[in-house]
Amino acid sequence: MMFWKVTEAACIAILATLATATPTIDTHIHRAVLSRPDIKPFPRNSGRSKPYSPPRTKTCSVIALGGGGDDAPQILDAFQDCNNGGTIVLDGNYTIATALDLTFLDSVDIALSGSIVFKADIGYWLANAFRYDFQSSTAFWKIGGRDVNIYGGGVGVIDGQGQAWWDGFASNSSLLRPISLVLDGLHGGSVTGLRMVSPPNWFNLIANSSDILISDMVLTAKSSNSNPVKNSDGWDTYRSDHVVIQNSVIDNTDDCVSFKPNSTNIVVQGLRCNGSHGISVGSLGQYVDQYDIVENVYIYNNTMSNASDAARIKVWPGVHSDFEPILSGGGGSGYVKNITYERYENINNDWAIEVNQCYGQSNKTLCELYPSNMTISDIYFIDMWGTTSSKHDPKVGTLVCSSPEQCYNFHAKNISIASPKGKSQWICSNFDTSGLEGFDCVSG
C-alpha cells in the first residue's frame, strides 16, 4: 500500500516535469507526503471506539522561511485555507516565534515530517504565551476544534528549546515556561509518530478534550549542562474524557503521564518510561472550592525505569501548603475512583507504589490535623513485578492515607516486587489493608 503510494507520487512528479519540460526539479514535488497512519487504540480502548475521521481532500504545503524567520503567520494561513477537509503539509524546518491559536479546527490533518522549533525568546513568550489558571500553565500554541490528526511518521519533530528555559529557571524559580503542545477543546483527534524534545515545561497538556488517541511517540528531555530539566511531564490530562495514550517511549524527569482534575475514561498502555516520577493520578485537591474527579483509568502493560515512583496517587491535604513558588495549594475536595494498574514492569524505581494524601506538605502534624478532602477508592494493583532501587530498601512502596474514611476498597494481587536486598516491605497506614494480597505491611 505504502509502496504503491510513493510510486504513484513519483510517477505524477515525473509526468509533471515532462509536461512543463523544465530542467530544474522542484524537490518539493518529489518529497513523499506522509499519509495518515491507521493507528487504533490497542489492546484496550477507553470504552468507546475512536470516532470516524473521513479522508482529507486537499493539501496546503507551507514552505519554511528558514534563517529563524517566524513561520507562525503562514502556518495560520494554511490552516485557514485547508480547514474543513484538508491536510497541512509541514515538511520543512519551521520556527514559531509568535503565539499560535489553532482552536478553530474542523476535520483537518497535519502531516509533520519536518520540525517545529519554538524560538527561545523568553521575553516575548512571557508577555504573549496563552495563559491558563490551572497550575499557572502557559502555551506556545493551542490546538482545538474537532477531528484533527497530527502525525509525524516517526520523523516529525517538535522542539521546545527547553535548555534556555531551564537555564532561566535556575536563576528565577517563578519563570513561567510554556508547554510544548496543548490540545485545548479538541473533540476527536490523534497525535502519532512524533519525536518531541526539550520542553520548557510539560511536553503535552490534553485539556477540555474528548476522544483523543496518542500513539507511537518518542519524548526526550535532557539538559546539556548542570541546570536540571524542569517539570517535563509526558502528558497531563485535564477536564478530558476518553483519552488513550499508548506505545511510546519517554525519557524525562517528572510524571510520565499525570491525570489532573476531571480526567475520566483514560487508558495508558504500552509505554516505556525512564527517569520519571511515575504514571500518576494527581496532584488533586489543590484548589479550595474546587471539586476534582479522576475516574475509570486503566494503566496496562507499561514499563517504568529509574523513576521515583511507578504507580502513584497524590492528593493535597485539607490545609494550604506552600510547596514551590508556582505550585502551592491544598484544601480542595473530590474523589479518585476505579483506577487499575495492571502488568507493570519495575526497574530500579524508588517506590513501586506510592499513595499520598499529604502532597506538597512536609509537616505531617498538619496533615493529620487537616485530612485530605479527597477520597480514594476502588484501586487495583494487578501483576506488577521487578526490583526497586536501594533508596528505601527493604521498603518497596508506601500507601499512606489521611483516614480510612478517605481511602477504601484497595486491592493488590500478584505483586512481586523486591528491594535489591531481596525483602519487600510496604508502608501501609490509615486504611483497610485486607485487600492487599501478600503484602508485608509495616508502619511508617
Ligand X SMILES: *[C@@H]1O[C@H](CO)[C@@H](O)[C@H](O)[C@H]1NC(C)=O
Can residue 293 be called a binding residue for ligand X (CB under 6 A)? yes
Can residue 184 be called a binding residue for ligand X (CB under 6 A)? yes
Q: Annotated catalytic residue: which of 30, 242, 277, 320?
A: 277
**Is the Cβ of residue 291 or residue 323 nearer to ligand X in the bound state?**
291
Among 363, 391, 405, 437, binds ligand X (CB under 6 A): 363
Number of residues that bind ligand X (CB under 6 A): 49
| DSSP, res 136 | G
Can residue 298 be called a binding residue for ligand X (CB under 6 A)? yes
**Is the Cβ of residue 85 or residue 195 nearer to ligand X in the bound state?**
195
Strands 204-207, 141-159: pairing is: unpaired
**Is the Cβ of residue 85 or residue 320 nearer to ligand X in the bound state?**
320
Q: Shortest distance, CB of residue 326 to ligand X, whole angstroms?
A: 8
What's the grid cell of residue 417?
516486587
Only segment of 10-18, 172-180, 393-401, 423-431 that touches ligand X (CB under 6 A): 172-180
- Find residue 248's DSSP bridge partners: 271
- Binding mask of the shown chain, residues 78 to 117, with x at each position contacting ligand X by CB under 6 A: --------------xx--------------------xx--
**Is the Cβ of residue 84 or residue 437 nearer to ligand X in the bound state?**
437
Give the residue from 292, 239, 241 showing the smallest Cα distance to 132.
Answer: 239
Given a contact cutoff of 8 angstroms between Cβ atoms, the answer to whether 311 and 279 are in contact is yes
For 90-135, the DSSP string reads E-SEEEE-S-EEEEEEEEEEEEE-SEEEE---HHHHHHHSEE-SGG
Q: How far apart are CA 236 and CA 424, in angstroms?
A: 31
Can residue 120 be called a binding residue for ligand X (CB under 6 A)? no
What's the grid cell of residue 346?
519495575
Given a contact cutoff of 8 angstroms between Cβ atoms, the answer to whether 329 and 372 are in contact is no
Q: How far apart are CA 251 and CA 373, in angstroms?
A: 33
- Find residue 106's DSSP bridge partners: 146
Only segment of 53-61, 78-86, 301-309, 428-436 that touches ligand X (CB under 6 A): 301-309
Map the footprint of ligand X across residues 135-154, applying CB under 6 A. Answer: none
Q: How far apart are CA 143 and CA 183, in angstroms?
A: 5
Can residue 331 be called a binding residue for ligand X (CB under 6 A)? yes
**Is the Cβ of residue 47 or residue 73 nearer to ligand X in the bound state?**
47
How many residues make up the chain in this entry?
A: 444
Among 34, 186, 207, 313, binds ligand X (CB under 6 A): 207
CB closest to ligand X, residue no: 275
Q: Shortest distance, CB of residue 421 to ligand X, whole angstroms?
A: 19
Given a contact cutoff of 8 angstroms between Cβ atoms, the answer to whether 376 and 406 are in contact is yes
Instruction: Give whole-number Cα distances, 265 to 239, 250, 297, 434, in Å.
Output: 11, 22, 6, 27
Can residue 208 be called a binding residue for ligand X (CB under 6 A)? yes
What's the grid cell of residue 281?
493520578
Can residue 234 be called a binding residue for ligand X (CB under 6 A)? no
Only segment of 171-179, 186-194, 353-361, 397-405 that touches ligand X (CB under 6 A): 171-179
Can residue 158 be called a binding residue for ligand X (CB under 6 A)? no
Given a contact cutoff of 8 angstroms between Cβ atoms, the answer to whether 364 and 402 are in contact is no
**Is the Cβ of residue 85 or residue 328 nearer to ligand X in the bound state?**
328
Can residue 381 be called a binding residue for ligand X (CB under 6 A)? no
**Is the Cβ of residue 160 or residue 318 nearer to ligand X in the bound state?**
318
The secondary structure of the chain in percent helix, strand, coil, rounded to multiples of 5, reads 15, 50, 35
**Is the Cβ of residue 174 or residue 225 nearer to ligand X in the bound state?**
174
Can residue 49 be called a binding residue for ligand X (CB under 6 A)? no
What's the grid cell of residue 37?
497512519
Q: 187: number of CA atoms within 13 Å, CB side?
A: 4
Instruction: Give whole-number Cα distances, 336 to 131, 198, 283, in Å.
Output: 27, 31, 11
- Binding mask of the shown chain, residues 235 to 274, with x at each position contacting ligand X by CB under 6 A: ----x-------x---x---------xx-------x-x-x
Among 32, 223, 291, 323, binds ligand X (CB under 6 A): 291
Active site residue 242: no
Given a contact cutoff of 8 angstroms between Cβ atoms, the answer to whether 183 and 209 are in contact is yes
Other Cβ atoms less than 10 A from the Cβ of 34: the count is 22
Using CB under 6 A as the criterion, which residues of the chain lie in contact with ligand X when the complex forms? 43, 47, 92-93, 114-115, 126, 132, 134, 172, 174-176, 184, 207-208, 239, 247, 251, 261-262, 270, 272, 274-275, 290-291, 293, 296-298, 301, 305-306, 318, 331, 333, 338, 340, 348, 363, 365-366, 370, 373, 383, 385, 414, 416
Active site residues: 277
